[in-house]
Amino acid sequence: MALDLAQFHDAFFAESFEALDSMETALLKLDVGAPEPELINTIFRVAHSIKGGSATFGFSDIASFTHTLETLLDELRSNRRQATRTLSDLLLKSVDVMREMLRAVQHKEPLDAQRIADLQFDLEVAIATKDVPPEAAPAVAASEPAAPPAAETAKPQHNEQSWRIVFRPYPQLFAHGNDPLRMLRELKDLGHLSVELDASALPALQDLDPESCHLAWTATLTSEVTREVVAQVFDWAEGDCHLEITSVVVEAAPETKSVETAAKVIPMKAPGAKAEVASEAAPEGARSGVGDSSSIRVSIEKIDELMNTVGELVITQSMLGQLGSRIEGSVADQLRSGLAQLERNVRELQESVMRVRMLPISFVFSRFPRMVRDLSHRLGKEVELKMTGEQTELDKTVLEKIGDPLVHLVRNSIDHGLEKPDVRMAAGKPAMGTVHLNAYHKGGNITVEVQDDGAGLNKERILAKARSRGLVGANDALSDEQIYDLIFVAGFSTAEQTTDVSGRGVGMDVVRRNVKELGGSIEVRTEAGKGSRFVITLPLTLAIVDGQSVAVGAETYIVPLTTIIESLQLKPAMVNRVAGRGEVFRFREDYVPVIRLHELFGVKPRAQALHEGLIMVVEGEGRRVGLFVDDLLGQQQVVIKSLETNFRRVEGVSGATILGDGSVALILDIPGIIRVSSESLVAA
């Protein structure tokens, strides 16, 4: 029965994409001239692993490209080539092409053969010329050690390092797509190799399973390579074999001889031993064959199903809690005690599932070093990227949707915000500008900031552009906050010329819309000559919210706790009516407008006069309002159900939930309610 290797493709692609991310990160950290050996090893290891996996699965185009790349990296790793900016650019382009090739093969799409061939040719030219920049070639050639005579390269040199490798595959080795002979051939490429076959576990012919591995090998490799390099050959067999790599001192010998014994020793000689960059040897047992069992891959669909089930459990627990509160009798106290314990257990289960969905924001931040490097080079600017709070966690759904808004903000900071080096120096600033990405938890939300030390927003220029477009009247007086808010209007741009980076008026309106769709908000803080800061506030998750239940007539609404500042009861004398703002009341040295929820949603209230009900002071997008409600019902954690999926989008409502009594309550979107109320006042 033929083995279907396609069952391992998903794991190969997932691991390859992760490995390419680590390769790109290492390349961005590569110092020109004197790179760290560990970074070079990381880069080489990724190319080596992807080459081996591609060859195993029959992806010959990828294997061919990565083989060429690996040859170039080996020269860099063995100190036969210097790291240069041009070489780094070439390697980063190779990462991009490898990603494209893997995606094309994964989705069974045609490869861009011309792009691949062109870049592979550039890699081969770089290998042939010994360096990418022509002016650097003589220096590199001068520093390169002379190659030993061909007759001597196959011989172990005096006092060379020798490794004894015991390789005992487990029976399932073939089933996981591994080829032991390919691994032995790769060992042969590292230096002088002799291999001894162990066939003691080979069963009788009638008992032989052709899909199981029964052989083992003991090899002796004489070379200058480190233990880590030897172990890399067996990367794909980790967990499918027992592996021992021990150091053996090689004494001086006049020549290498082939030896025949009863155990059958197979001598193999490489055309030339390769030198390795000195690096820290891997600890004994690093490749013992025991796989890492501390984590498993689970599809997000399964996590979502689990989350939905937990959500339904929360609703059921709430229903039982309400039912238990109405029961009287001898067992009532015991029932309520049991329900309280159930509530604690459900909350712990809910929090555990939420933690499974949480990922560090570094998954988003990791894309920016490459982007900033390329963009600053294209624009002729010197930019330092600082990132803090990368381990701040948020829900995977939020994480996936915040990436594009952050890309727009970072691009704008570099293109519009930061000045050219000569302009900065003339203004008394360092030539290198700074873009700072920061993330941190604040209350029940996560805050992400994009800050630059550039010129800041030009208030007069923004206002003039808005007036020329008719967005603002000639005599209208706007606050600084209102002026800066104009940059989020669709199609608005102050760029003097259109480029492929920005200036088409597309981007900032998309940023605000995407952030609002996540239930978040964005603020702009800027100072002329000192820079700008964009502050995005997001919910930790889109699945569950802690809310305050409020009654308006016969309806129940949920107000997110993170938006509530205070609840109070007004006296008639505390309320004033202001033209253009409706009813207002004084709250902490400021006048706050009142929004009557029953008017907004067309509900008949129990209380008409403000002093007969309650005012809930809430905040959204930096603005405060007082929501007029009949009564407060209590706090509870509710599971958010999408209104768009089951009905349609309603402005001022972020979703719905099912209460303990089975009724449906709308979850209020406070920023949306403030916008709707402001629009209705303007229309009036």
Q: What is the identity of the amino acid at 336? A: R
Q: Which of 160, 192, 276, 412 is catalytic?
A: 412
| 134 pLDDT higher than 50 | no
| Residue 195 pLDDT | 92
Q: Which of 24, 41, 48, 438 is catalytic?
A: 48
| Residue 663 pLDDT | 82
Indicate the pairing of strand 591-596 with strand 623-629. parallel
| Residue 476 pLDDT | 75
Task: Identify any residues that bridge with 267 across adjacent strands, giving them in sequence order.
Answer: 194
Which range (161-165, 177-181, 272-276) has the least confidence? 272-276
Give the separation between CA 490 and CA 481, rounded to whole angstroms: 17
Helices (H) and strands (E) in the chain, counts: 21, 23
Which sequence spans correspond to the domains of the chain? 5-143, 150-268, 300-355, 361-539, 544-683
Distance of CA 318 to the CA centre of its chain: 36
Q: Are 275 and 288 in contact (CB under 8 A)?
A: no
Strand, coil or helix: 391: coil
343 or 195, higher pLDDT: 195
Give the separation between CA 41 and CA 403, rounded to whole angstroms: 30
276 or 549, higher pLDDT: 549
What is the pLDDT averaged over residues 367-373?
89
Query: Which of 439, 301, 423, 418 has the alpha carbon at shortest distance from 365?
Result: 439
Neighbours of 540 (CB within 10 A): 21
What is the pLDDT averaged over residues 249-272?
38
Look at the block and give the residue holding tokens 């800061």.
533
For 544-683, which CATH superfamily applies? CheA-289, Domain 4 (2.40.50.180)
| 502 pLDDT higher than 60 | no
pLDDT band at 156 (very low <50, low <70, confident <90, very high): very low
- For 62-107, the pLDDT digits (tens) are 988 988 888 888 888 877 788 888 888 899 999 999 999 999 998 8
Give the separation between CA 375 and CA 501, rounded to whole angstroms: 8
Give the separation between CA 74 and CA 190, rounded to whole angstroms: 11
Give the separation between CA 597 and CA 241, rounded to whole angstroms: 68
Strand, coil or helix: 37: helix
As a whole number of Å, the CA-based R_g of the chain is 33
Give the separation between CA 32 and CA 22, rounded to whole angstroms: 19
Query: Which of 523, 548, 550 has the alpha carbon at shortest distance from 538?
Result: 523
Query: Which of 435, 346, 442 has the alpha carbon at shortest distance from 394?
Result: 442
Q: Are 566 and 579 in contact (CB under 8 A)?
A: no
| 140 pLDDT higher than 80 | no
Look at the block and give the residue holding tokens 């109320």.
677
- Determine which helix (DSSP H) or strand (DSSP E) holds 338, and give its type and residue range: helix 332-357
Q: Are 425 and 527 in contact (CB under 8 A)?
A: no
Give the separation between CA 161 and CA 221, rounded to whole angstroms: 8
Q: What is the identity of the amino acid at 320? A: L
Task: Identify any residues that bridge with 44 across adjacent strands, giving them in sequence order.
Answer: none
Give the separation between CA 366 and CA 27, rounded to whole angstroms: 13
Look at the block and give the residue holding tokens 């059921």.
316
- For 325-338, the pLDDT digits (tens) are 788 877 888 888 88
Q: Are 217 and 182 in contact (CB under 8 A)?
A: no
| 260 pLDDT higher than 60 | no
| 273 pLDDT higher than 50 | no
Give the separation between CA 393 and CA 450, rounded to whole angstroms: 17
What mean pLDDT is reported for the chain? 79
| Residue 434 pLDDT | 93
Give the separation between CA 7 and CA 3, rounded to whole angstroms: 9
Query: Which of 587, 572, 585, 601 has the alpha carbon at shortest distance from 665?
Result: 601
- For 409-468, the pLDDT digits (tens) are 999 899 888 999 999 999 999 999 999 999 998 866 889 999 999 988 888 888 888 888
Distance of CA 28 to the CA centre of its chain: 16
| Residue 500 pLDDT | 52
Q: Are 501 and 408 in contact (CB under 8 A)?
A: no
Task: Identify any residues that bridge with 166 across adjacent strands, giving them in sequence order.
Answer: 218, 244
CATH 1.10.287.130 for the 5-143 domain, yes or no:
no
| 557 pLDDT higher than 90 | yes
What is the pLDDT averaged over residues 603-618?
88
- Determine which helix (DSSP H) or strand (DSSP E) holds 118, and give its type and residue range: helix 113-129
Q: Are 189 and 258 in contact (CB under 8 A)?
A: no
Neighbours of 264 (CB within 10 A): 11
Look at the block and give the residue holding tokens 């502050």.
535
Query: Which of 198, 182, 181, 232 has the alpha carbon at shortest distance from 43?
Result: 232
Q: Which of 70, 75, 449, 621 is catalytic?
A: 70
Give the separation between CA 655 and CA 671, rounded to whole angstroms: 14
Token output for 80? 């036969």
- For the chain, the residue count is 684
Task: Identify any residues that bridge with 442 across adjacent strands, giving them in sequence order.
Answer: 445
Whole-angstrom distance between the N-terminal and C-terminal Cα of the chain?
A: 78
| Residue 489 pLDDT | 80
Token output for 336? 């309520």
H-state helical runs in 471-629: 480-485, 508-517, 597-601
- Establish whether 48 is a catalytic residue: yes
Strand, coil or helix: 88: helix
What's the pTM value of the predicted model, to 2 decimals?
0.60
| Residue 474 pLDDT | 75
| Residue 147 pLDDT | 40
pLDDT band at 3 (very low <50, low <70, confident <90, very high): low
H-state helical runs in 159-258: 180-188, 227-232
DSSP state of 558: E
Q: Are 61 and 107 in contact (CB under 8 A)?
A: no
Q: What is the identity of the amino acid at 194? A: S
Query: Which of 370, 349, 428, 408 has the alpha carbon at shortest distance from 91?
Result: 370
The string of DSSP letters for 533-566 reads EEEEEEES-SSEEEEEEEEETTEEEEEEGGGEEE
Q: Are 597 and 627 in contact (CB under 8 A)?
A: yes
% of the chain at pLDDT higher than 90: 17
Angle of helix 9-28 relative to helix 37-57, nearest 10 degrees, comes to 160
pLDDT band at 683 (very low <50, low <70, confident <90, very high): low
Instruction: Please give the sequence-ordered ranges of beta strands (E in DSSP) within 421-460, or none if there are none.
Output: 433-442, 445-452
For 361-539, which CATH superfamily applies? Histidine kinase-like ATPase, C-terminal domain (3.30.565.10)
% of the chain at pLDDT higher than 70: 83
C-alpha torsion sign, points 60, 65, 71, 73: negative
Query: Which of 27, 138, 113, 135 has the alpha carbon at shortest distance from 76?
Result: 27
Give the separation between CA 465 and CA 491, rounded to whole angstroms: 12
| Residue 629 pLDDT | 92
Give the separation between CA 452 and CA 450, rounded to whole angstroms: 7
| Residue 9 pLDDT | 84
| Residue 235 pLDDT | 78
| Residue 261 pLDDT | 31
Distance of CA 362 to the CA centre of its chain: 5
59 or 154, higher pLDDT: 59
Neighbours of 621 (CB within 10 A): 18
Q: What is the identity of the amino acid at 577? A: R
- Which top CATH class is 150-268? alpha beta
| 586 pLDDT higher than 80 | yes
